[in-house]
């Protein structure tokens, strides 16, 4: 008869010790992961996309007029010309074509201001969190 002795197995005490260590370190791991969160750049990205949309419309436009609170563009279409208006409406910036319907481009806006320049115009946008963005767009 062969006597088998295996001293390399797991015991109940080693399993309980391992489980205790895992349960003690879990709250610390979640706290460490929460403290390494990166700040959201969603607002900044949406503002920069808005600037790109306006720039693209200005490039296609035939005529552009700015007031303090509006940008009015005359854009050619398939049949005739369309009037595109960018303006602040409440706390959003909207784009309206020929006075019908609208598209919302940016949300949570405190102030939108257009300043006429000799070669184009400048957009000054302030978000509700207090961040201010400026963009100068030239006429082509």
Q: How many CA atoms lie within 13 A of 35 on its CB side?
A: 6
Per-residue pLDDT reduced to its tens digit, 7-30: 666 688 888 999 999 999 988 888
Whole-number pLDDT of residue 33: 80
Which pLDDT score, from 0 to 100, does residue 6 have? Answer: 59
What's the burial of 106, exposed, middle or buried (CB within 10 Å: 0-12/13-18/19+)? Answer: buried
Domain coordinates in residue numbering, the chain: 62-138
Q: Is 125 exposed, middle or buried, given 0-12, 13-18 or 19+ CB atoms closer than 10 A? A: buried
The single residue listed with the structure tokens 């400048």 is 122
Q: Which of 121, 96, 94, 125 is nearest to 110 (CA)?
A: 125
pLDDT recorded at residue 137: 93
Residues of the chain with pLDDT under 70: 1-10
Encode pLDDT of 97-111 as tens digits. 998 999 999 999 999
């Amino acid at each position: 008869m062969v006597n088998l002795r295996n001293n390399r197995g797991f015991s109940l005490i080693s399993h309980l010790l391992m489980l205790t260590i895992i349960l003690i370190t879990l709250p610390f791991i979640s706290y460490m992961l929460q403290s390494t969160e990166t700040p959201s750049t969603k607002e900044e990205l949406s503002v920069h996309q808005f600037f790109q949309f306006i720039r693209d419309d200005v490039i296609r436009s035939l005529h552009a007029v700015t007031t303090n609170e509006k940008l009015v563009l005359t854009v050619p279409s398939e049949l005739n010309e369309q009037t595109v208006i960018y303006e602040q409406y409440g706390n959003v910036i909207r784009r309206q074509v020929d006075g019908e319907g609208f598209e919302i481009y940016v949300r949570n806006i405190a102030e939108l201001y257009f300043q006429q320049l000799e070669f184009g115009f400048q957009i000054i946008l302030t978000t509700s969190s207090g961040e201010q963005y400026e963009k100068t767009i030239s006429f082509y």
